[in-house]
Amino acid sequence: MKRIGSLLIVAVFAGAITLGAYKFLFEKNNYAIISADENTSVVNTSFTPTSAKGAGINEVDFTLAAENTVNAVVHVKNVTIGKSPNNIFEFFYGSGGSKSAPQVGTGSGVIISQDGHIVTNNHVIANASQLQVTLNNNKTYDAQLVGSDPNSDIALIKIETNEKLPYLAFGDSDNTKIGEWVLAVGNPFNLTSTVTAGIVSAKARSLDTRSNQSFIQTDAAVNPGNSGGALVNTNGDLIGINTAISSRTGSYVGYSFAVPSNIAKKVIDDILEYGNVQKGVLGINVAPVNTPYAIEKGLNEIEGVYISGIVEDSGAEEAELQEGDVVKMIDQIKIRKYPDLTGYLSTKRPGDTVEMVIDRDDEEIIVAVTLKERQTIIVPEMGMEVKNLSDKDKKQFKTKIGVKITGVPERYRGYGLDGKVIIKVDDQDIENITDAKNAFGGISRYGKTVITMLNEDGERERLIFQ
């Protein structure tokens, strides 16, 4: 009897371990976690004017907006292929005998055209080997990825159908007001066509002080599975794509965040027209708040964006912006903090001109700045920052091609790389930052890479990285 009891206990214990291993290995999360602080995590969860309504909840009718939205919001299934052990012993001890196994993640998407274009989050469709979309009428279609932008976490997918699909029109998120009633529509925890209500809690919210994020914050309930779903106003206009929640538990606790519709629309338009995202760059450096420099300059109390430096050959330099200028307004939009500025610039392309109100020595001046293409990138693998050569650089280094190293990671500081010009990686000539990105992105971390550079005297140097 004791032996039977012991065997029963062992069987229950083994079953629990097996179930836990299955959930760990085969069930794929439909969201990503970004650290906000040591106790809090952020869980990643398509043009008409937007009008704010100041009416009380008893005077607002959500039914028409909800009815129109649920039919345009879809369920997105992402199937990827991952590695898993053959049995429980390999899970704990490993044997190199792992096998491929499908992993499934789910999220939401929003139909933005009658012919089947759907906007969703990049993290919903990332690394997919197969994408499936289920409409609110339960019809399921295979979907193809058209393009994506990890920086904004926006992706565009498409299904093929002869039907004219219901869709949502983009609203103008710049006109959205704090306190305005909104609806979040999506598929939390695979509960399809779920509608929740809340208000706009804040705009231009950044969840990471090191990034260029600019979210709409709401208190509409959003959970894992809502990612890529719709945030609409009471008119049913799409004003955001639900993307993240701030939570200590992994579930909604009162704070949710959406990519503004103006940013999402610009990303989608770029993907359709250019195949990639066109980013217009102002060309200023900004001092982060709460740093010794910011405290010394009193920047934490400034309403606006303090310019701590000007990028060479940028639109800001051509417009004669200066260190110490404070950006107060851009194209009639008030700038209180950095995400206000970056959020608006995310809707612009190279060649666009913006009108800026600048505070310079307590005097307001108006300056027109033409945005340019980004001149610097961080190259893969080595992590160095490089920029396109200016005419001055080409003359100094006596070259017509190459990229200049402007930032070096700590691990490479002893090689004397900063300020030199890379003209070749292995046998590939480097003419600009695009060439540099492609060349460094294609090298193997296990092989040997030869970098040919020019020093300040225009002399060639070669470094071999093993």
Q: Give pairs for 385-389: CB < 8 Å, separation 24+.
A: 386/422, 386/433, 386/436, 387/433, 388/432, 388/433, 389/421
Least confident of 87-96, 153-162, 440-449: 87-96
Instruction: Decide: helix, strand or coil at residue 248.
Output: coil
Task: Evaluate whether 230 touches 184 at the Cβ level (below 8 Å).
Answer: yes
**Entry pTM:** 0.72
CB-facing half-sphere around the CA of 166: CA atoms within 13 A: 13
pLDDT tens for each residue of 120-148: 999 999 888 899 999 999 999 999 999 99
Q: What average pLDDT is seen over the chain?
A: 83
Q: What is the largest CA-CA distance in the chain?
A: 91
Separation CA 67–CA 170 (nearest Å): 17
The residue behind tokens 């470094």 is 463
Q: Give the pLDDT score at 19.
A: 44
Separation CA 22–CA 37 (nearest Å): 30
Measured torsion, CA atoms of residues 27, 28, 29, 35, in degrees rounded to the nearest 10 = 120
Asked if residue 416 has pLDDT above 80, the reply is: yes
Q: Give the pLDDT score at 208.
A: 67
Catalytic residue among 75, 123, 261, 435: 123
Q: Where is 393: in which H helix or E strand?
A: helix 391-397
Task: Evaluate whether 220 touches 183 at the Cβ level (below 8 Å).
Answer: yes
C-alpha distances out from residue 392 to 27, 45, 395, 398, 457, Å: 55, 47, 5, 10, 14
Catalytic residue among 173, 227, 314, 346: 227
What residue type is assigned to position 133 of the chain? V
The residue behind tokens 């500081």 is 413
DSSP per residue, 290-331:
TSHHHHHHTGGG-SSEEEEEE-TTSHHHHTT--TT-EEEEET
Dihedral over Cα of 186, 188, 194, 200: its sign = negative
Catalytic residue among 41, 75, 149, 153: 153
Q: Closest by alpha carbon to 366, among 358, 374, 376, 375?
A: 358
* Token pair belonging to 232: 């609409």
List, in sequence order, every beta strand (DSSP E) within 300-445. Answer: 305-310, 326-330, 333-334, 353-360, 363-370, 372-373, 376-378, 385-388, 403-407, 421-425, 428-429
Question: Between residues 133 and 3, which one has the greater pLDDT?
Answer: 133
153 catalytically annotated: yes
Query: Helices (H) and strands (E) in the chain — how many of each?
Result: 10, 29
Q: Closest by alpha carbon to 257, among 279, 268, 235, 242?
A: 242
Q: Closest by alpha carbon to 258, among 299, 205, 306, 192?
A: 205
The residue behind tokens 């305005």 is 180
pLDDT tens for each residue of 288-316: 777 777 777 777 778 899 998 898 889 99
Least confident of 25-29, 229-233, 252-256: 25-29
Separation CA 100–CA 137 (nearest Å): 33
Instruction: Decide: helix, strand or coil at residue 92.
Output: helix
Backbone angles phi, psi at 316, to 5 degrees: -65, -40
pLDDT tens for each residue of 52-89: 444 445 578 899 999 999 999 999 999 887 665 556 55
